[in-house]
Amino acid sequence: MATEVREELAAIRDSVRELAQLKIAPLAAEIDRSAQFPWEVVEIFRQQDVFAIAFAPEYGGISGSALTLATAIEEIAKVCATSALLLAVQGLGGYPILLGGSEEQKQHFLPELASGRTLAAYALSEPDAGSDPASMTTRARRVGDGYVLDGVKTWITNGSVAGLIVVFAVTDPSQGTRGISAFLVDGDCPGLVRNSIHGKLGIRGSDTAELVFSGCRVPAGRLLGAEGDGFKIAMGVLDRSRPQIAAQALGIGAGALDQAVAYAQQRRQFGRPIAEFQGIQFMLADMATQMEAARCLTHQACRAVDARDPQMTQLAAMAKLAASDGAMRVTTDAVQILGGYGYINDFPVERMMRDAKITQIYEGTNQIQRLVIAKRLMA
């Protein structure tokens, strides 16, 4: 890694770490308790140019490196997974434009996302098309000088609050995956109804929504690429977004490990800190090893993304699988180490355990990651 890249990475990491500890950590418990979208965090990110990390300078950003973005997401997720997801999804919404958009579309939309003036969402999943996005039924019909969208998308992060939504819809049902196209849809587009989904196990402050399109008209200039490019764009986006979810999982696990180490050093039983007992030491050692191994794999996947290495599909799936499974194990063990205190919300590890679970599900379930990895091995 070149010296200037290392310096940029270290500077952004240290800056985001300080911001997370001073500004975000004090808000995390209330964000979880209230289950309200954290507009206060959005404003902090706007003021501190955090959203800009996901984008290159030519589009109003300050980095655009997948590795730098992952490092920032991890630091935020150490204290608040919901806040880390704000940054990850801003990148997720920008990737389709970077991959499939015209230069005019990039110059128009990406600076809005980089500044945080506009929040983004990525609408791929449907009630009957989750792990199998090729079975989507949302339609886009060409009418005059635009398209009309009809259908339902669900589990859309930022769906109720986003000003710009990337929507995938079928333009030619006879062509299978080659008949899927991608569109840039305004959040207030007539014919779009957004219904928030409540009662989530974790990431409670994150907005999750069902989007109902009924005669929603989109100008032809909002098509990304050509008709039929949508599925290729969607898969390319997932190669780039999965390492960022791995980074979120890493942050959750690392935050839980920090809590467990601190508690074990101050909690006394049988006349001494429980950190002196070999059983606890072995748990902590295993937790740290799992997280560091996943971090190395995640960073390798990010470097592959930055280098446009063909191996990035497999590495992205591996990183997401290893980091999210590791985070689930580590947060569960952290709750165990804290005992009864780990089971109540006086300490953040029970929140971290709940938050970790979603990282095994979204951006492709971990069963899907295993299929992706196996398919690459067999190729």
Could you list the active site residues?
363
If one counts every other C-beta atom within 10 angstroms of the C-beta of residue 2, the result is 7
β-sheet bridge partners, residue 148: 141, 217
Distance CA 115, CA 86 (A): 13
Please choose, from the candidates 311, 310, 324, 327, the residue with its C-alpha nearest in 3D space to the C-alpha of residue 368.
324
DSSP E strands: which ranges in 222-281?
223-224, 268-269, 272-273
